[in-house]
Copies of this chain bind each other. A is one copy, B any other.
Amino acid sequence: MCKAVVYVTLRQSVLDPQGHAVKGALHTLGFDEVKDVRIGKYMELELDTADRAQAEERVRAMCEKLLANTVIEDYRFDIVEG
């Protein structure tokens, strides 16, 4: 068993309306020092694989096929155990 942690973020050139809304809400609450907010996804995957190199290859394929929309999103991942 090993665990993969995947981070999916919007590309810098893509507008982030969710982040914009959160920034506005933080300002309303008095957190005026917040200059920008970008929101992404964080995923933890438990994999039934012992081979770390194979796990990396498979997680990359998962990101390309399903977990990230590579037109507007970047992804990175770490294999944290195994």
Contact = CB atoms under 8 A, between A and B. Distances in A.
A48 to B, nearest CB: 5
A56 interface: no
Size band of the interface chain A makes with B = 20 to 34
B37 A40 contact: no
A48 B66 CA distance: 36
B37 A45 contact: yes
Interface in A51-71: 58, 61-62, 65-67
A25 interface: yes
In order of increasing CB-CB distance, the 9 nearest A-B pairs are A42-B42, A36-B46, A40-B42, A35-B46, A38-B44, A33-B48, A33-B47, A33-B49, A35-B48
